[in-house]
Amino acid sequence: MTTKSIQLIYFSPTHTSLKVANAIAEGMNLPMSNEIDLTYPIKDKDIIVNNQLTIIAVPTYAGRVAPIAMERIQKLKARETPAIIIVLYGNRDYEDALIELRDQVKAQGFIPVAGGAFIGEHSYSTEVMPTAAGRPDESDTLIAKNFGKAVLQQLESFNHLNDIPALHVKGNFPYKENKPKTPATPTTTYELCTQCQLCIEICPVEAIELKEEIVSDPETCIKCCACVKDCPNGARVFNTPFTEFLFKNFHERKEPELFMPTPKKATY
């Protein structure tokens, strides 16, 4: 099959999923015809997706696809659209996220043709107790570029989309249970805050507002920590015991895991 252009679909509050998706696209060296950003609220009931090779990238939360990303993926409407599916996780484990993403995009009309699990800096990572700090890094980006190139070459070895075998990825079904949210949210160091309201602008679920001070709604906040990572004054912080737990137990570097279709052997 011949691929003339590609499109990106992503949910990426802290930019790691987008960075990997862009690197895969760069490795393919094809024109980018469309880009659908699911990071922020979507008013459209349905999003019709063009029938071309699509890179779909989302973060994992506790071994599952981020729930709000899953909600927004369910607005996508495709028809036999080939898709490369990507999850980003914070150096602990992606568990059932990739297989969950595979199953959901199939339900939306995509045909998963390749997949990968990459590592991104954990949302709870801090300078004092870092977990996967700075990732995806240069090595991850190179792997993503080479993956994009390899997937494209592999797809071109098939005559038709229907010839591509079903994609098998790591994970289990039933998926691991999503745990209830805890009420903790990022807070504001008021002496550092200039009330520039950037955090309000970039929150993917509109959980932050300016009252007398900048505050987060604990019922709405998804703890993506976009407001913490992007605050220009370091005024937003998120203190959680899980930061130390991750730092102590998951500091050893993990590498991306990649899944590609294998052409069927000829029979005579």
Domains with residue ranges and CATH for the chain: 6-175+252-259 (3.40.50.360), 187-239 (3.30.70.20)
Query: For residue 232, what pLDDT is reported?
Result: 96
The pLDDT tens digits for 165-200 are 999 999 999 999 988 878 889 999 999 999 999 999
Rg (CA), the chain: 19
Instruction: Give per-residue pLDDT as tens, 49-76.
Output: 988 999 999 999 999 999 999 999 999 9
**Is residue 37 helix, strand or coil?**
strand
Answer for the pair 54, 7: CB distance below 8 angstroms, yes or no: yes
| Alpha carbon distance 119, 253 (integer Å) | 9
pTM above 0.85, yes or no: yes
Contact between 62 and 246 under an 8 Å Cβ cutoff? The reply is: no
Residue of 249, 247, 123 lying closest to 185 (CA atoms): 123
State how far the Cα of 87 lies from the Cα of 112, in Å rounded to an integer. 13
List, for residues 251-266, the tens digit of each pLDDT value: 999 999 999 977 655 4
Tokens (6 digits) for 221 = 């906040």
Structure tokens at 238: 């998120």
Q: What does DSSP say about strands 187-188 and 236-237: parallel, antiparallel, or unpaired?
A: antiparallel
Q: Positive or negative, the Cα torsion across 58, 61, 65, 68?
A: negative
Give just the sign of the alpha carbon dihedral 209, 212, 217, 221. positive
Residue 267: pLDDT above 60?
Answer: no
